[in-house]
Amino acid sequence: MRGTLFVVATPLGNLGDLSPRAAETLKRVAAVAAEDTRRTRPLLAHVGSGAELVSVHAHSPAAAIERVLRQLAGGRDVALVTDAGTPAVSDPGVALVAAARARDFPVVTVPGPTAVAAALAVSGLSADRYLFLGFLPRKGGERQRLLDTIAQSEWTVIVFEAPNRTAQLLDDLVAMCGAERRGVVARELTKLFEETRDGTLAELAGYYRDTPPRGEVTVIVSGTGVPARVTPHPDPEARARALLAEGMTRRDVADRLAQETGISRNSAYRLVNEL
């Protein structure tokens, strides 16, 4: 007999949102793989689960995942949970799911809360099609590229953000999308101090500069309603030669090439050195 990996959605905050099926699953599995065992332990106590807690987070060594796979191989069922919401959605649990599927272990979903759908449902913005980008990088070319993606997106875009960086994100969105683009900030969903605030990006940026948010934050930006412009990438070699002719260092040229052409930074650096 081979064990099954159950991917179990848990409440964003309100324990009343835990489904009966999720509670029963957590009670009967042999082990629970959790992003933060300190946050999951009270949930297991709430449902009366005596399952073994196993830590599987973004910085876990490969041995942690192998430990779970050995339990599955031994016929023990395991539940995967995240701190709040649905595992593997902008969450390190995806590595365990991929590893279990690669070994052909059964993987079963126990669906439930997710901040993406919860925030979108109360936003009042179009939800026919949407783009979810998770957490944006704090800085650098990749952050700029994703901000540009939001600015050009035909569809509603959803991102997560830490409360202490929310005002800066909104300022960046104003610069990229324009002050009048509509947006929504949802925080502490399902919790005591739940708040959903809508307005223009400029209005939201001003409000959260003066009133720093607390708790989990989801930011939603309305789409343009028109297809994004598709600009072909410049030829990497020709662009590299032009940038070198301007007197830029090889390192700076490689960084610029990676941003402008979409090739990896290693490939860009190798091309510059060959030139």
Q: For the segment 71-123, what is each residue's pLDDT rounded down to a tens digit?
A: 999 999 999 999 999 999 999 999 999 999 999 999 999 999 999 999 999 99
pLDDT at 151 over 90: yes
pLDDT at 130: 97
Q: Binning pLDDT at 50, 70 and 90, where does residue 263 land?
A: confident
| Higher-pLDDT residue of 259, 153 | 153
Phi, psi of 97 (to 5 degrees): -60, -45
Higher-scoring residue by pLDDT: 146, 230: 146
Q: Tokens 């948010």, residue?
A: 213
* CA quadruple 50, 55, 57, 62: dihedral, nearest 10: -130
Longest dimension (CA), the chain: 69
Give the residue-averaged pLDDT of 220-229. Answer: 90
Q: What is the mean pLDDT of residues 186-192?
A: 96
Residue 161 — pLDDT band, cuts 50, 70, 90? very high
pLDDT higher than 90, residue 207: yes
Residue spans of beta strands (DSSP E) within the chain: 5-8, 31-34, 52-55, 78-81, 107-110, 130-135, 156-161, 182-187, 195-200, 217-221
The yes-or-no verdict on residue 229 having pLDDT over 80 is no
What percent of the chain stands above pLDDT 70?
99
272, 240 contact by CB (below 8 A): yes
- Of the candidates 48, 38, 24, which has an alpha carbon nearest to the alpha carbon of residue 112? 24
Angle at 97 between CA 64 and CA 219, to 5 degrees: 105
Average per-residue pLDDT for the chain: 94
pLDDT for position 231? 65
More confident residue, 257 or 88: 88
pLDDT of the residue at 111: 97
Please give the pLDDT value at position 153.
96
CA distance 59 to 85: 20
**Rounded average pLDDT over 8-17:** 96
The answer to whether residue 187 scores a pLDDT higher than 70 is yes
Asked whether residue 232 carries a pLDDT value surpassing 80, the answer given is: no
Model confidence at 230, pLDDT cuts 50, 70, 90, reads low
